[in-house]
Amino acid sequence: MSRELRFETRAIHAGQEPDEATGATIVPVYQTVTFTQDGVGQHRGFEYSRSGNPTRAALEACLASLEGGRFGFAYASGMAAISGVMQLLSAGDHVVVADDLYGGSYRLFTQVMPRFGVRFSFVDATRPEEIDKAFETETRMLWIESPTNPLLRLVDIAACGEIARRRGAQLVVDNTFATPFLQNPLALGATVTLHSTTKYIGGHSDVIGGAVVVDDEELEKRLQFTRNATGGVPGPWDAWLTLRGAKTLALRMREHERNAASVAEFLVGRPEIAKVHYPGLPDHPGHELARRQMRGFGGMLAIELRGGAVAAKKLCESTRLFALGESLGGVESLIGYPWSMSHAAFPAEEKRRKGVSEAVVRISVGIEHADDLRADLAQALEQAARAG
Ligand SMILES: Cc1ncc(COP(=O)(O)O)c(C=O)c1O
């Protein structure tokens, strides 16, 4: 599928030609383990579904197109995708990591990968000079998220790409929060972009998945080999659900953003709230950078309650439309308490140092009507104020 087609068109057509065997317009769910061969060593492109499956291949081609890379890899979860990228490393290698990151990635980098001899240095990536200083001769990878989870800080992807290139390292960007609709890291200098497709790409909170996209043939070969060797693939139904979600990503992201902007504006004026973190607000420290490297500001925001932990927890427990739960990026609004939920894996002093205090609440703004979302938050904030 040609890259000249616009995003919305590629989301619906890339990798999704009518089925060769039947003409089915929608990519079928190829619920099969194996593919009957015409003769020994003579197959039609697929042999065994761990190595390749047509439904998964359609999803991979679509995601590659949306991210502007040639090669897409679907994984069983976002963490499987992250592990897949980690498998590019060997004992003795070193990774520089932006310290504002998803708790699950932090857990993998601090509690699992070191057992295999891979070392990690955590830095404040909003300051590129800190990144440069953390590089060692064995540094093979620079790992960042932007916007970050949960405080929506912005990291300059092009500046990181420049450092990684100069140092001969891969720049990996976890693009889950931004989505390919709002940001394409490969075009900004990254060599690997990855997603928890569980979030915005799947979009309906009904399927766990992950994806990696690269444009480099050498990386493609290594990822193909290691994923086949280690086996973290999604089943065809999950690939199909994720592909169905991806078709409406553009529509949903526009609504997520419109609602998030409306909710952020409402929250800024509330007396119960000390701070609203949303890159679309002009006083957000990353606002100008977001304008440069993104095509919008997304649907995530974080707030700090004046009433501290008590008020923050009460807010999370008092909303009626915002479900209290892990995850983000679904059509339904979610509310979460990073301190003990998404960021539970970080030590308390580390969380405080990064500004993820007990007063922080994270909100994934869904695509319900903004009036209803604001009204729900208003009633919940009143309850939080009484508690805090
Ligand atoms: C930024 C980010 N990356 C990766 C993951 C892991 O994805 P999954 O839950 O699909 O394994 C998450 C999950 O919350 C996330 O928020």
CA-nearest residue, atom 8 of ligand 1: 78
CA-nearest residue, atom 15 of ligand 1: 102
Of all residues in the chain, what percent carry a pLDDT higher than 90?
A: 97
Give residue ranges with CB within 6 A of ligand 1.
Answer: 77-79, 102, 104, 145, 149, 174, 176-177, 196, 198, 208, 210
pTM: 0.97
Over residues 246-254, mean pLDDT: 98
Cα(154)–Cα(68) distance, integer angstroms:
21
CA-nearest residue, atom 9 of ligand 1: 78
In this structure, are residues 164 and 132 in contact, taking their beta carbons and an 8 Å threshold? Answer: no
Q: What are 77's two structure tokens?
A: 């979860």
Give the number of the atom of ligand 1 that is nearest the alpha carbon of residue 101: 1
Over residues 58-68, mean pLDDT: 98
pLDDT of residue 116 exceeding 60: yes
The predicted pLDDT at position 2 comes to 47
Over residues 244-262, mean pLDDT: 98
Q: From the CA of 129, how far away is ligand 1's center (Å)?
A: 28
Cα(80)–Cα(232) distance, integer angstroms:
6
Cα(291)–Cα(383) distance, integer angstroms:
36
Q: Name the one residue in this structure whose structure tokens are 């994806």.
A: 211
Instruction: Report pLDDT digits (tens) over 119-138.
Output: 999 999 999 899 999 999 99
Cα(182)–Cα(187) distance, integer angstroms:
12
State the catalytic residue, choosing from 100, 156, 174, 376: 174
Q: Is position 337 annotated as part of the catalytic site?
A: no
Q: Is position 102 annotated as part of the catalytic site?
A: yes
Of the candidates 173, 195, 177, 167, the one whose C-alpha atom is nearest the C-alpha of residue 185 is 173
The predicted pLDDT at position 4 comes to 86
Amino acid at 326: E
CA-nearest residue, atom 12 of ligand 1: 196
Over residues 354-362, mean pLDDT: 96
Q: Is position 199 annotated as part of the catalytic site?
A: yes
Over residues 43-54, mean pLDDT: 97
Instruction: Report pLDDT digits (tens) over 71-108.
Output: 999 999 999 999 999 999 999 999 999 999 999 999 99
